[in-house]
Chain A
Amino acid sequence: MDLAESARASGVETSAGGSVAIEAQNVTKIFGSGADEVRALDSVSVTIRENEFFTLLGPSGCGKTTLLRLIAGFEHPTGGQILLEGQSIGHLPPYERRVNTVFQNYALFPHMTVAENISFGLEMLGKPRSEIAATVDDMLRLVKMEALAARRTDQISGGQQQRVALARALAPHPQVLLLDEPLSALDYKLRKEMQIELKRLQNETGITFVFVTHDQEEALTMSDRVAVMNEGQVLQVGPPHEIYNHPGERFVADFIGDTNFLKADVLSANGQEATLRLASGAEIDATLPEGLSAAGQVTIAVRPERAVLCSDKNAALLRGELQNIVYFGTDTHYHLTLPDGEVFTARVQNTRSRQAPYELGAEVGIAIEPEAIQVLRD
């Protein structure tokens, strides 16, 4: 506990408020050499704040696990620096970093009981016996495993193993807890439970969580901030709503949630404010993302739930022919074909009674509010 406090006191203050737990500066990691060279991380810079639930989100092979392993110390960076509480740790072995990991398949010690697993880290830190016993009890209570303390780890269920793995990693009270896709082995219901559980644990312990997942829903529901990664690079960092509503790049918009992509021409631009013309001929005002100069064709993204179907074709921004209607319970998906052949999806919530005012094959208008239009950097 005192360690965490002193670390917090010495922590670096950021402009955003709250001190920095982990800072990756231009971290590059290359595996292999010559023709087999794989650039797992390409000059990645990320700042993770104290007490934050930070998620690294991306498809498999995007480098998110490599970044986690670099922070944990299982790998060492080829270039760049990793700072923990302001101190460079890139060269330190894992056992000299106050960072603990919850492994994807838990990696519980099979020759030890639940309690022995949890006490292992504390023993290695050379804590006195009485303190170890007290902390183990606390941890067992925290993850609600008191009754199974004496069990062997192969005698408990997957969800319980997950809790033990969490308790084992939290017991030494690390400065940062790393979680490598810890929920992927659980079934849907258990995963939902554990998502809430993880949030609760993070609140109760006040430890910085760095969570790796390829599940966008997990990332959106649990995180304070999300870093979207692809091909060894961090594409966008921000709170879930920002990532979802204002994706900067096509990959981010595509990877998180469903998105309609439309082509548009920039007619005129005044700073970041620009007027675009859609393929349908409709003109709209939009804000250009940073780094995009006003010229030529751009891609815009529209979330399906932000599009509204209307029978007034002329007033609407777009119009399309209704190809397919899929009923999903809470909402209905309308698949439309635009005049230029592009497919557009609109998602309409089913309120009160089920209305189906539109017939298949009918031409309907698609209304989109200006705020729902996001211009991408591509």
Chain B
Amino acid sequence: MVNTAANSAELSLGTTLQGGASAEQTARKQEVRRSILLSTPALIVLFCAASGPLLIMAVYSFLSAGPYGGIVWKFSSDGWASVVMQRDIFDDTLSIADAHVTILWRSVRLSLLTTFTCFVFGFPTAYFIATRRPERRNLWLFLITIPFWTNLLIRTFAIMELIRNQGVVNTFLTSFGFVEEPIQMLFTDFAVMVGMTYVYLPLMVLPIYASMERLDFRLVEAGYDLYATRFKVLKRIIVPLAKPGIIAGSILVFIPALGAFVTPRILGGGKHMMLGNLIGLQFGQGRNWPLGAALSLTLLVLVMIALLYYVRSAGKSGGSHG
């Protein structure tokens, strides 16, 4: 489901970028019409594959939980209520479900942090690749994709091996006397963030690279020529022109990070759950499918909010130079 959302994010990216006004508007319109026609088969597949499960989720979220998992066909708003509330088992009073709110907040916070660190590491990387000779760029892009050759689980366990208390990093730090005791890194929010940054970094690098590759580096020279220092050129010319890529990259990192399952499961342990783990729990041990369905839809709403923000800011940047 999360993947589908990311795909439709890319689709909407394509169409909004083409929306800018220009002298050859009619030719553009025709082109847009043709590209819509071309994407119709994909849209049909996406629609069927996304709407079916979504519909099931929407229906389940309003039913009662079965005693051994599954659902009972009886209307109930308990699923939705328990997204952020909990019912006291003795007197049936409702109160805020602290655990759920904490997990929701952690998911949003860690996803934002991951997006930010991905940008911090991804932007210079993309700039580096875009400024190589054209025939060398493909090699660098190829290197960026190498981590994808290994299974995500194995890579995540490798990170675990690095940062656990007897792991490589802590062994190094203690044996050289930088710290007395090993630093607890595994099973913390920090570990989850590091893991997600590692996993999603290429998703930030590639779109930024794509927009920087089109950047005319004579504009950078023009900036220097007009007395802008390196920092000013970066701030006033490179970043504004790479903005579509930065926004697309941020969305592509933020959305899957919000629904991440494997990374927080392994690196966060049981105490540092994220939304994806909470949902997984409801369909497994928790045996509360309606709550799971409601949480899934909550995740979807969060993603939609992020997308709406993207469409608005992309529209704005399209209005100023698209």
Q: In which size bucket is the chain B interface?
A: 20 to 34
With A107-B216, A111-B240 as given contacts, are A74 and B226 in contact (CB-CB < 8 Å)?
Answer: no
Contact of A111 among B221, B222, B225, B320 (CB under 8 A): B320
CA distance A112 to B241 in the complex (A): 10
The reply on B150 being an interface residue by CB < 8 A is no
B58 at interface by CB-CB < 8 Å: no
Are A100 and B226 in contact (CB-based, < 8 A)? yes
| A residues 151-196 in Cβ contact with B at 8 Å | 152, 154-155, 168-169, 172
In the complex, B33 has a CB within 8 A of chain A = no
Q: Is the CB of A248 closer than 8 A to any CB of chain B?
A: no
Contact in complex: A111, B241 (CB < 8 Å): yes
Q: Number of contacts between A and B (CB, 8 Å)?
A: 66
Residues on B with C-beta less than 8 A from A110 are: 219, 241, 321
**DSSP majority for the B interface?**
helix
Q: Tell me, yes or no, whether A208 is within 8 Å of chain B by CB.
A: no
Q: Does A232 contact B (CB under 8 A)?
A: no
Q: Is B133 an interface residue (CB 8 A)?
A: no
Contacts of A112 in B (CB 8 A): 321
- Which chain A residues (75-119) contact chain B, with CB distance < 8 Å? 93-95, 99-101, 103, 105, 107-112
Question: Contact: A94 with B320, CB < 8 Å?
Answer: no
A58 at the interface (CB under 8 A from B): no
Q: How far is the CB of B185 from chain A (nearest CB, A)?
A: 41
Q: Is A244 an interface residue (CB 8 A)?
A: no
The answer to whether B222 and A107 have CB atoms under 8 Å apart is: yes
- Does B228 contact A105, Cβ atoms closer than 8 Å? no
Judge whether B237 is part of the interface by a CB distance below 8 angstroms.
yes
User: CB of B74 within 8 A of chain A?
Assistant: no
Residues 225-239 of chain B, each 1 if its beta carbon lies under 8 Å from chain A, else 0: 111110010001100
Q: Within 8 Å of chain B (Cβ to Cβ): is A207?
A: no
Known: A124-B232, A152-B320, A152-B321. A109 touches B222 (CB 8 A): yes
CB closest residue in chain B, given A111? B321
Could you tell me the distance in whole angstroms from the C-beta of A65 to the nearest C-beta in chain B? 12
Asked if A73 contacts B224 (CB within 8 A), the reply is yes
Task: State in angstroms the CA–CA spacing of A94 and B224 once bound together.
Answer: 6
Min CB distance A68 to B, Å, is: 11
How many interface residues does chain A have, given as a range? 20 to 34
CB neighbours (8 Å) of A93 from chain B are 224
Chain B residues whose CB sits within 8 angstroms of the CB of A125 once the complex forms: 227
A72 — which chain B residues lie within 8 A by C-beta?
A: 225
Given contacts A120-B226, A172-B227, contact A94 B219 (CB under 8 A): no
Interface status of B22 (Cβ within 8 A of chain A) = yes
Enumerate chain A residues within 8 angstroms of B218, measured Cβ to Cβ: 103, 105, 107
Q: Which chain B residues border A101 with CB–CB below 8 Å?
A: 221-222, 225
From 4 to 48 in chain A, residues with beta carbon under 8 angstroms from any chain B beta carbon are none
Residues in A whose Cβ lies below 8 Å from that of B225: 72-74, 94-95, 99-101, 169
A154 to chain B: which residues have CB within 8 Å?
22, 321
A320 is an interface residue with CB less than 8 A from chain B? no
| Inter-subunit contact A95/B320 (CB<8 Å) | no
How far is A93 from B233 in the complex, measured between Cα atoms in Å? 13
Query: Considering the chains assembled together, what is the distance between the CA atoms of A121 and B224 in angstroms?
Result: 9
Shortest beta-carbon distance from A84 to chain B in Å: 14
Cβ of A124 and Cβ of B222 under 8 Å apart?
no
Q: Is the CB of B226 within 8 A of A121?
A: yes
CA distance A107 to B220 in the complex (A): 9
**Contact assessment for A107 and B221 in the assembled complex, using a CB-CB cutoff below 8 Å:** yes
Q: Chain B's nearest CB lies how many Å from the CB of A336? A: 48
**Centre residue among B23, B226, B236, B237 by max chain A CB count within 10 A:** B226
Question: Given the complex, which residues of A lie within 8 Å of B227, measured CB to CB?
Answer: 95, 121, 124-125, 172
Query: Beta-carbon contacts of B47-67 to A below 8 Å, as 1s and 0s?
Result: 000000000000000000000
A107-B226 in contact (CB<8A)? no
With A74-B221, A110-B321, A111-B320 known as contacts, the answer to whether A95 contacts B216 (CB < 8 A) is: no
Residue of B nearest to A126 (CB): B227
Q: List 12 A-B contacts (CB under 8 A).
A: A73-B225, A93-B224, A94-B225, A101-B222, A101-B225, A103-B221, A107-B218, A108-B222, A111-B320, A120-B226, A154-B321, A168-B226
Q: What 7 A-B pairs are tightest by C-beta distance, nearest first? A: A121-B226, A124-B227, A111-B321, A94-B224, A107-B222, A107-B218, A95-B227
Seed contacts A103-B221, A120-B228; 9 additional CB < 8 Å A-B pairs? A74-B221, A74-B225, A93-B224, A95-B227, A101-B221, A107-B219, A108-B222, A120-B223, A172-B227
